[in-house]
Amino acid sequence: MMSKVWLVTGASRGLGCEIARAALDAGETVVATARSADAVRDTFAHEHNRLHALALDITDAEAPNAVVTETIERFGAIDVLVNNAGYAELGFFETITDAAVRRQFEVNLFGTMNVMRAVAPHMRQRRSGLIVTISSVSGLVSNGGGAVYSASKFAVEGWMEGFAQELAPLGVRSLLVEPGMLRTDFMDGKSARFGSIDIPDYAEAIAQYRAFVDGANGNQPGDPKLLAERIVALASHGEVPSRLVFGDDARQWASAKVDQLRQEIVQFADRG
């Protein structure tokens, strides 16, 4: 089987790094991007000659076009796109500025769309390709303290659920990945941000939430290496599920949401 060409965003650390590494271990060619190409090179320390690091700021609408063009000119195709770059704007909604909310959407939603606009025409033309969108169980279930982050991921889910159906007749497959809490640095200061507006009514609840996040950071139950391996294995299958809910915590939260929805649909059905 010929090796595939993967394009992975946000690949300098966290889950993106693990996906790039798992694809390399499977014999694939990987174009790994981050805002700094040097950050990617530092992470991988020249351990693979099939890894090619490129700088990409996904919030720059034109930047993905250059990366896609360079990748196709060099390797002939993009077989798998992993839209992974993103961060979490955590905190209670009223404590988060308008600018911070917009930044969350600029990266998690519009940045992901920028990359997609650059890659989709190539995959449509080839009638082939797999789009892996890294969402979160927070794209299915929202909780206090995560409302803004969840809003961005709910938006990603709604967009990709519909866009996937537009692409499917043209031979392009789609996989939405919804992990629970993974042992990455996603919840530390490099990735997670918190509200900056002081509101006394929320002070006690916010203190409890911050304590929860601080306690969870580094102790998350999900194994990012295992998820990366699952994604790479699924990419080699002819059929992929539309969604992959990963982790016991994610499955519990998603199942509870489904159960609650089903109950409310029945309980409050139009009595006519």
d(CA 259, CA 27) in angstroms, rounded, equals 41
Residue type, 90: L
In DSSP notation, 87-100 reads: -EEES-GGGS-HHH
113 closest CA partner among 72, 169, 162: 162
Q: Show the tokens assigned to 68.
A: 């896609």
Alpha-carbon distance of 69 to 110, in angstroms, equals: 20
Give the helix/strand (H/E) hosting 246: strand 243-246
CA distances from residue 54 to 20, 22, 49, 99, 108 in whole angstroms, order as listed: 13, 18, 14, 28, 20
d(CA 152, CA 149): 5
DSSP 62-129: THHHHHHHHHHHHHS---EEEE----EEES-GGGS-HHHHHHHHIIIIIIHHHHHHHHHHHHHHHT-E
Q: Which among 12, 191, 176 has a CA at the least distance from the CA of 81?
A: 176
Q: Which residues are catalytic?
A: 135, 149, 153
Q: How far apart are CA 45 and CA 6, in angstroms?
A: 19
> Could you tell me the two tokens for 2?
């010929």
